[in-house]
Copies of this chain bind each other. A is one copy, B any other.
Amino acid sequence: MNVTLRQLRIFTGVYRTRSITRAARELGITQSAASLLIQQLEAQLGVKLFDRSTRSVQPTLAADEAFAAAERMLSDAQGLSRRMRDLAQARAGRVVFLASAGTASALLPMVLAKFRTGHPDIEIDMRDVAADDLVPRLSTTDAEFAIGSVEGEFADMTIETLTSGRLSAIGRRTADFAARRSLTWDELVQLPTIAMRSETRIRMQIDQALSAQGKRLDPTYEVTLINTALAMTAQGLGLAILPATMLPADQFPTLIARPLVRPALTRPVSLLQRQGRTLSPAAQAFVATARMVLAGRTAPASG
């Protein structure tokens, strides 16, 4: 057999209290059990640890040395337990995940803010990545999950839609615009529009869908960053063509979104995970927060 932490625990107790009886009481075992544990430890280490008589328990020199080592191991053990408990309760740890550029800039900041209030000590490593890279990167890096607009099926991946936004026209809350329930893509032709540059995934989805119907978006402005589009819209330069989910209400209180129809397009925001890999508790907590925050933003099934 081998040295056990149990033996070390009683050993340090005896060492400190200079009494088997007292140490046993501390640990909640009987004196005889403690006596036996000490004898075992001595046998396993091959060293006398205490000179004991019925009246006194004197540590030997070897015990002095052993004590230091034992204390260290026990505090390591306690540290390990505590650390693991913190991890389990998502009170500590680190969340490494991938986010597509659009999601990272427009949608995740509010998730991050919410998460931080509940889990202030968890480190977050959000890596923004081109949407096409989400799946390959997730397979190869240490990221635990990915959030972004991904459609289709992938081997060894599970996909869960967190929210999906209808492609919308976003504009200032004018009486005119607010009165509309929706707009058609055709109507946009007559209006100044701000769309994402055609290299972006959002724009590609739009162009594909429209061209299938023989239509075409011809924006007044083309930008790279979602925030730029929104800021320009807030300035009255035109209507931003974006998924409704991408509009942070608190940041742009003057703007409202109206769905675009004919065709109605939706853009999902999905959570990707590697199959058969549990998320760390911290990641689970983060995902839960994301679900909660984003669920409130899902567009109704139709409208």
A residues with CB within 8 A of B = 2-6, 9, 44-48, 51, 53, 56, 58, 60-62, 65-66, 69-70, 72-73, 76-77, 79-81, 83-85, 87-88, 93-94, 144, 276-278, 280-281
Instruction: Tell me, in angstroms, the Cα distance from A277 to B45 when the chains sit together.
Output: 19
A93 contacts across to B, CB distance below 8 A = 61
Give the shortest distance, in Å, between A89 (CB) and chain B (any CB).
Answer: 8
A45 contacts across to B, CB distance below 8 A = 80-81, 84-85, 88
7 new A-B contacts at CB < 8 Å, known A5-B5, A72-B76: A4-B5, A45-B81, A47-B85, A60-B278, A61-B94, A62-B84, A69-B79
CB pair B47–A88 under 8 Å, yes or no, is yes
Give the shortest distance, in Å, between A303 (CB) and chain B (any CB).
Answer: 41
CB pair A69–B83 under 8 Å, yes or no, is yes
Q: Report 8 cross-chain contacts, Cβ distance below 8 Å, ordered by A residue.
A: A2-B5, A3-B80, A48-B278, A51-B278, A56-B276, A62-B84, A69-B76, A73-B80
Beta-carbon nearest neighbor of A56 in chain B: B276
A83 contacts across to B, CB distance below 8 A = 65, 69
CB pair A3–B77 under 8 Å, yes or no, is yes
Select one of B62, B85, B88 contacting A280, CB under 8 A: B62
CB pair B3–A4 under 8 Å, yes or no, is no
Instruction: Kindly report how many copies of this chain are found in the complex they form together.
Output: 2
Instruction: Tell me, in angstroms, the Cα distance from A81 to B5 when the chains sit together.
Output: 13
Instruction: Tell me, in angstroms, the Cα distance from A181 to B80 when the chains sit together.
Output: 77
A46 contacts across to B, CB distance below 8 A = 84-85, 88
A278 contacts across to B, CB distance below 8 A = 48, 51, 60
A87 contacts across to B, CB distance below 8 A = 47, 61-62, 65
Select one of B6, B47, B66, B69 contacting A4, CB under 8 A: B6
Instruction: Tell me, in angstroms, the Cα distance from A207 to B270 when the chains sit together.
Output: 104
Give the shortest distance, in Å, between A82 (CB) and chain B (any CB).
Answer: 10
A53 contacts across to B, CB distance below 8 A = 276
Give the shortest distance, in Å, between A72 (CB) and chain B (any CB).
Answer: 6
A72 contacts across to B, CB distance below 8 A = 76
A60 contacts across to B, CB distance below 8 A = 277-278, 280
A3 contacts across to B, CB distance below 8 A = 5, 77, 80-81
Instruction: Tell me, in angstroms, the Cα distance from A94 to B6 when the chains sit together.
Output: 28
Instruction: Tell me, in angstroms, the Cα distance from A222 to B3 when the chains sit together.
Output: 60
CB pair A80–B70 under 8 Å, yes or no, is yes
CB pair B277–A58 under 8 Å, yes or no, is yes
Give the shortest distance, in Å, between A208 (CB) and chain B (any CB).
Answer: 37
Give the shortest distance, in Å, between A68 (CB) and chain B (any CB).
Answer: 9
Give the shortest distance, in Å, between A61 (CB) and chain B (any CB).
Answer: 5
A47 contacts across to B, CB distance below 8 A = 84-85, 87-88, 281
Give the shortest distance, in Å, between A27 (CB) and chain B (any CB).
Answer: 10
